[in-house]
Structure 1
Amino acid sequence: MRCPPWFRQIDDAATLHVTYKTYGDFTVQALEEANLVCPHCGEPITLLLDLSGGAQSYTEDCQVCCQPIHVSLWIDDAGDDYHVDLRREQD
């Protein structure tokens, strides 16, 4: 999957944690935690990303400054990597 040219990939400063849950005989991936930076206030924020839903676009408020952030999520075709873009809602 090719991402738009304006997208920003999670950089080395981001910390990613994959959580798995086991139910009986099978294991599923739960939410992914991504530590990012708010495009409004520049403060570190943590977003929980649901990778099971495929590519997504939604608005979430910053936990620090309460401003709306437009979140775009892309997942590669193999399903083993993803990219996230955070923008101010008016951008």
Structure 2
Amino acid sequence: MQPFADEQELSCPYCGEEVEVQADAVGPSSEVYVEDCPVCCRPWTVSVSREGAEVFVSLGRDDD
């Protein structure tokens, strides 16, 4: 694992497969971007929030 990255295992909101998502531990307090699932290739909305040393990542459907 990279020193400034937080890796989390989450479920794809489309296919339900467990996927690893990396988020930098350093950055803005919150950010949203789109990334494709490596299993089903459908686009997720990735939401990242940072509170001190804690990094929280959630995945949403891009069509919500």
What's the TM-score once normalised by structure 1's chain length? 0.63
More strand by share: 2
1:53 aligned partner, one-letter code: G
Q: Which one has more relative contact order, counting CA pairs under 8 Å at least 6 apart? A: 2
Coordinate RMSD, CA, aligned: 1.4
Q: Indicate conservation of the 8 Å contact 2:23/2:57, yes or no.
A: no
- How high is the sequence identity, in percent, across the aligned residues? 38
Structure 1 residue runs without a partner (length 5+): 1-17, 21-29
What's the TM-score once normalised by structure 2's chain length? 0.85
Q: Which is greater in Rg?
A: 1
Moved over 6 A (4+): none
What is aligned with 1:82? Answer: 55
Equivalent-residue separation in structure 2 for 1:53 and 1:62 (angstroms): 23
